[in-house]
């Protein structure tokens, strides 16, 4: 079965729509979302409605949590522009959209793999898997052999076999090993940060265990206009064209 896994939509409905269209053209049978549906972008409610309409299983991301649970998390480390977007998002979402965000689970599990937003490391919350130490902690706490996640906004693969060094690399199309632990970072639909402006997602064939990195062009100018029209910081619009 061909599965599509995406994440970090961040209110960018133009990138989300283009990614879903690509999944449809490729005859993807099941789609999962790694969370952070909102934050940064100018169309958070439309993104929520689209995921709900398509009944796409979605995990809770940190921006989703910050939006619906103000005061629960210490977000002093979140940059000023992001805090502005979080507060604006709270103001523009309908109550049913807020309730949907509240209902999102931290983890989704199938027989073949699991889906999370950030690291499986339980504390502190929302750890980025971005270096040797965090990759090792991910492997230590990962309860299933294969995990897909987002949060880093960069397509990555982490693998480990007993007695070997934990390996981390940029994600390339490959057949995943059947032994040891594997984590696949799917990149970001709505705000890639690997120098490529195109939306990032992953295709996973459950029969062959082949994973394919999918890059999808979308209407960046329209996404930028939505951010500016919402009165959000210009930086959030400008960075989309650079993939940063």
pLDDT tens for 190-244 read 999 999 999 999 999 999 999 999 999 999 999 999 999 999 999 999 999 999 8
Radius of gyration of the chain from its Cα atoms, rounded to whole angstroms: 17
pLDDT tens for 21-53 read 999 999 999 999 999 999 999 999 999 999 999
* pLDDT the model gives residue 163: 81
Cα 11 from chain centre: 12
pLDDT tens for 175-191 read 998 889 999 999 999 99
- Poorest-confidence range of 68-72, 116-120, 165-169? 68-72
73 pLDDT tier (thresholds 50, 70, 90): low
Number of independent structural domains in the chain: 1
With 0-12 / 13-18 / 19 or more C-beta atoms within 10 angstroms meaning exposed / middle / buried, residue 72 is exposed
Q: Does 76 have pLDDT greater than 60?
A: no
* pLDDT the model gives residue 70: 81
136 pLDDT tier (thresholds 50, 70, 90): very high
Question: Tokens 């690291």 sit at which residue?
Answer: 119
DSSP 68-122: HSTTTS--TTS-HHHHHHHHHHHHHS-HHHHHHHHH--SEEE-SS-EEESS-S--
Average pLDDT over residues 3-9: 98
With 0-12 / 13-18 / 19 or more C-beta atoms within 10 angstroms meaning exposed / middle / buried, residue 217 is exposed
Would you give the DSSP letter of residue 58? B
Angle between the 95-103 and 44-53 helix axes, to the nearest 10 degrees?
A: 60
Please give the residue range of the domain that contains residue 16: 2-241
Give the H/E segment covering residue 148. Answer: strand 146-149
Q: Does 77 have pLDDT greater than 80?
A: no
Q: Does 114 have pLDDT greater than 80?
A: yes
* pLDDT the model gives residue 162: 84
* pLDDT the model gives residue 179: 87
Average pLDDT over residues 140-154: 96
- Poorest-confidence range of 51-60, 66-75, 110-119? 66-75
What does the CA dihedral 89, 92, 96, 97 come to, rounded to 10 degrees?
Answer: -40
Percent of the residues in the chain that have a pLDDT greater than 70, as a whole number: 98
User: Looking at residue 108, which CATH number applies to its domain?
Assistant: 3.60.21.10
């Amino acid at each position: 079965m061909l599965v599509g896994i995406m994440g970090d939509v961040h209110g960018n409905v133009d990138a989300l729509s283009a990614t879903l269209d690509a999944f449809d053209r490729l005859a993807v049978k099941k789609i999962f979302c790694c969370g952070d549906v909102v934050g940064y972008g100018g169309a958070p409610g439309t993104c929520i409605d689209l995921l709900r309409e398509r009944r796409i299983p979605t995990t809770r991301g940190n921006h989703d949590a910050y939006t619906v649970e103000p005061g629960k998390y210490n977000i002093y480390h979140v940059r000023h522009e992001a805090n502005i977007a979080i507060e604006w998002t709270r103001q523009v979402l309908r109550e049913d959209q807020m309730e949907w965000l509240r209902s999102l689970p931290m983890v989704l599990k199938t027989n073949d793999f699991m889906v999370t937003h950030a690291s499986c490391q339980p504390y502190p919350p929302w750890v980025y898997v971005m270096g040797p130490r965090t990759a090792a902690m991910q492997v230590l706490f990962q309860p299933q052999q294969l995990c897909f996640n987002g949060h880093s906004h960069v397509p990555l693969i982490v693998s480990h076999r007993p007695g070997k060094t934990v390996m981390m690399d940029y994600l390339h199309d490959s057949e995943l090993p059947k032994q040891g632990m594997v984590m696949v970072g799917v990149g970001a639909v709505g705000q890639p940060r690997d120098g490529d402006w195109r939306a990032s997602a992953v295709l996973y064939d459950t029969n062959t265990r082949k994973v394919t990195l999918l890059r999808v062009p979308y209407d960046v100018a329209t996404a930028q206009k939505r951010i500016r029209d919402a009165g959000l910081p210009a930086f959030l619009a400008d960075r989309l064209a650079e993939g940063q």
